[in-house]
Structure 1
Amino acid sequence: MKIFLVPQASMNPSLPDSMIKDIDKMKGDAIGDTLYSERWVLKTLMKLSKEYSNYCNPDDYHLETSLEEDLSVLWDMTIEPAVAEFLMENNVVELITDVITVSCSPRMNEIMVGILGNLACQEQVRQKIGENEDLIKIIINQLTSSDSPTLIQVMRLINTCIWNLSDKNSKQSNSSDPDKEENESCWISTLKTEKELLQQITCFILASSRNEELLKSTLSLIDSLFNVTDSKDDFFCKTFSTETFVQALVEAVKEMTKGAEDGNKSMYNKEMLKHGLAHWISLLHRLTSHNIGVCALGM
């Protein structure tokens, strides 16, 4: 929601003085041109910083209701660029890093990664994440979670950060920004280092998950990985060119299309199926682009 102030002289009748004062007061505490309160956001961040250590015990990790509600509202707010900028000014990435490093609460981690995913829609945030190898490793390690909502947000976050990246070697001849190039290579080099973890987890999800949104998110992430390196390298495509991955793709498409012929899918699920199948077809096409993939397909 935004405030649009009209000069008092142009209004008929003019605004009462009390209303003008109220608007000025709201605007004074507002973040940018939104009606979101700076004070409320800072209060929520302080509350999080004080209480997140309470969720380090794997036997007692249920998120307290009021904290969950406040963090959920904050998550929704972060789609606003002005809010994202304000949070960055208040070191929210560092706080989120501290939280997800120690938290045993799936809901806490889902919200934290979700907030980071919204923030990563802003280029300056993606750059900040790309400069932090430790944070990248922490994000990738969240793929070991057994919580589907958290995994969906992790897939989304990684996808947001890498979808438009190219390998350092493919950018070298065209890039005029060495720092940006280095940031991109940090993501790619870390993902390459964690290739076995990526392959193991994504194959397991595709082969066994019954969560259609998670299946679609996983296919989307792998599709981005296949396109993150140049055709000379094709690192991730070759890494995933295994019979295990192909079989996982088969199981995933079976699950996604279940009930489609009977018309038992909602409009939302039909759209999800459409996007999921688009990624699925793209992956199969990429596998046929080199001999290792062709062999994995049994062609």
Structure 2
Amino acid sequence: MKNGTRTVEEETNKQSRSPESIAADAVKGDVIGSTAYSQRFVLNCLIKLTDVENVESASEFIEKDLCTMWDMTTEKDVSKFLIEHDAVEIFNAILISSNNNRLLEVILGTVSNMSCHKDVTVDIKQKRAFAVNIFTHLKSADPLLLVQVLRFALTIIYNDSTDMNFWLACLRDGDFPSSLRFILENCANEDVLTNSLETLNCICSACNDDTKNTFIKLFIDEHFVTSLLTGFQEILNCIKETSSINKETEERCYVIFLAIIWAVINFDECLPLFNEESNEKLFTHANMIIETAWSNENDGILDIMEYVTGISSALNFPFSNSSIKICVTFMRVWKDLIDSYDNKINSDFEDPDFIDNMKKEITPVLTNYFVRIVKLWPLEKVNELFKDFETKHVFKLKSSIEECIENKIVDTYYADVCFTLIESINK
């Protein structure tokens, strides 16, 4: 084109193009970024959403078009396109005025998908009132809606964990902490409870020395441990009664529960929250988790045992019925490691590599645990616990202690007492 007019050659080329070629260019001009999704479709959805009253009763539009747009937001280009066309303002107006839980669920699910993209997280962060509004919906009684609120909190904080002061303030203004505590204490829906644990763990993990005090002020009170134990017990009830939680999710819940306890117990201000009654429940759960993970040959057993050992240490290895059961279970694991490693052919474990992988990692954890209880527990009870150890188990323990001392994993202060016990067992 020259001076605003087409050349004869350009006109000829245009007229000679096939209808298919022209249509292809038209479609290409309608796609969003590098995706195959239509700009026109998304814009039509946004336009219809501005008429909240009609949208609330348009179930076909919600179930078909909006759910399609929800799926589309797994693509970053689509999420960015929505941000660029004021979707946040439109979504926020719906969250404020709509009473249609299904519509709210779809909108929140769409925003949760959008927040999975770090670039979009930055954009959403600029709309603070929108984020706070989402957090207020954790007061809803609709389980599906609650799951999406929790997903949003999890993804947005995970993607922007370096600014926890900002997000803790948003959570506070949305009354998120008290709503989460209410869920843990009263909810019986497994999806809501498992997502609650995931989100709480994410928040705990993101807090550091600078944000610790704010986190404690918002989330931790005298009922926190009881609330957490109640929520976890309800998850166990769901697993037992319905079996609808798959094994991977179940095992993930176990690890997250212990991770939350471990994170909280490392705050000195929180130690007084753990009393004799709560410790008994905690260690009962912990023993069940270890037994289940070991029986299922779960690769997460190392994390589980490290958490349990760390929690026990933080509480100064309390001596109780439940902690004794943990010790017995640890001893069973130790014997299984030694026996199965020495006799792989006749091992009861389905995965022949499981013992090889676990022995090197778990042995120091168990050794550290054993030498501590020998020092801190009544000697008579310790002797009784160790009586089922055969000579080879005792010999391996002694070798492991020596190795752990060399690698500075075990304090010689505790090891000397354990050596004395080993010598008495050998006699």
Task: Identify the TM-score tier after normalising by the shorter chain.
Answer: 0.7 to 0.9
1:83 aligns with 2:78: yes
Question: Which one of the candidate residues 184, 190, 193 is aligned to 1:212?
Answer: 190
Instruction: Work out whether 1:223 is the aligned partner of 2:224.
Output: no
1: CA distance, partners of 2:40 / 2:159: 35
Are 1:190 and 2:167 counterparts? no
Runs of 5+ unmatched residues, structure 2 = 1-16, 277-427
Q: Shift of the alpha carbon at 1:63?
A: 5.0
Higher Cα radius of gyration: 2
TM-score by length of 1: 0.77
**Which of 172, 177, 200 is 2:178 aligned to?**
200
Name the one with the larger helix percent.
2
Superposed displacement of residue 135, structure 1: 1.4
Letter in 1 for 2:166: C
2 CA distance for matches of 1:241 and 1:100? 29
- Is 1:33 aligned to residue 34 of structure 2? yes
Do the aligned partners of 1:207 and 1:249 also contact (CA within 8 Å) in 2?
yes
SS in 2 for 1:29: coil
2:248 is the counterpart of 1:271: yes
8 Å contact kept, 1:63–1:108:
no
Superposed displacement of residue 245, structure 1: 2.2
Q: Which has the higher contact order (CA 8 A, sep 6+)?
A: 1
**Other-structure match for 1:53:** 53
- Give the CA RMSD over aligned residues: 2.6
Instruction: Quickly say closer, same or farther: Cα 1:297–1:103, change in 2 above 3 A.
Output: same
Match of 1:68 in 2: 63
Q: Distance in 2 between matches of 1:229 and 1:260?
A: 30
Letter of the 1:286 counterpart: A
Cα gap change, 1:217/1:40 in structure 2, threshold over 3 Å: closer, same or farther? same
Same amino acid, percent of matched pairs: 27
- Matched to 2:227, the amino acid is A
What TM-score, normalized by structure 2, do the two folds share?
0.55
SS at match of 1:163: helix
Task: Tell me how far apart the structure 2 counterparts of residues 69 and 151 of structure 1 sit (CA, whole Å).
Answer: 22
DSSP-derived class of the 2:183 partner: helix
* Residue 192 of structure 1: how far off its partner (Å): 4.0
How much has 1:166 moved relative to structure 2? 4.6
Query: 1:32-77 CA distances to partner (integer Å, 9 max, x unpaired)?
Result: 2322111111112111112x1347xxxxx65522333211111011
Deviation at 1:251, TM superposition (A): 2.1
Q: Does 1:287 align with 2:244?
A: no
TM-superposition CA deviations, 1:205-260 (whole Å, max 9, x none)? 11222221111111111112223331254132464333422222222222222365
1:105/1:46 Cα in 2 relative to 1: closer, same or farther (>3 Å)? same
The residue type paired with residue 190 of structure 1 is C
With over 3 angstroms needed to count, the CA separation of the structure-2 counterparts of 1:36 and 1:239, relative to structure 1, is: closer
Give the 3 Å change call, closer, same or farther, for CA 238–298 of structure 1 in structure 2: farther
Matches for 1:1-299 after TM superposition, within 5 Å: 17=18, 19-50=20-51, 52-54=52-54, 64-166=59-161, 185-193=165-173, 197-234=175-212, 235-237=214-216, 239-258=218-237, 260=239, 265-266=243-244, 269-298=246-275
Identify unmatched segments of 5+ residues in structure 1: 1-15, 56-60, 169-183
Q: Counterpart amino acid of 1:290?
A: F
